[in-house]
Structure 1
């Protein structure tokens, strides 16, 4: 016995009317940017006070730029270099606590970068251990 299945016919999706005929129309500029051209002041003319305010405003913006730069540099500062190990005076490597049952889970620490070995072997890893400090990034309003 052969069972024939009827194809499932879904109703077509309703098309939402839009002023946008294509995807590119979404990104198309609707109007050209306005360019304001002011006439050059003559030597005999006094410059209007409005222009001086604009110049002062731009000077204020220029004065604020170093403050803004310092703020962003504080937020996105590069990571501090790892300390030197006490035994070999070489840069340490950073590791993370992986034991989920530990209270220190997820915390970072520094150890000597050399491989494990006998305690009497000077070429083996020394006993250097240091926790990485959790410095909170704060932005001062100064």
Structure 2
């Protein structure tokens, strides 16, 4: 548990590269349903596969590990440029793309061209960890 919390802290620190414009409820006015959509879909994904929580956190970590958190890991290979998604270290080891893609589609229907992919990925990993912590607390762990 301590390792998981430390990993989350590292990711959060890596994602804030001196930005002073980050704040809670950023999408409150422009897309008030974003957090509800992400949390619901992460919850559904975890019910189907409890290991998806670790997978979403791992996906976010791998995105942030290469030149910062920019959601570039979600990009597909284009022509002769191999994407991070298909790069050797990530190929067949990083998963959860389908969960993020589903969330992106639903959010895009609700709030066109408003929510960034990195915010979706960050929120998904946040809620995945939060839901696991709640589950562990309910089990008395």
TM-score (norm. length: structure 1): 0.22
Structure with more relative contact order (C-alpha pairs < 8 Å, separation 6 or more): 2
Larger radius of gyration between Structure 1 and Structure 2 = 1
Structure (1/2) with the larger strand percentage: 1
Structure (1/2) with the larger helix percentage: 2
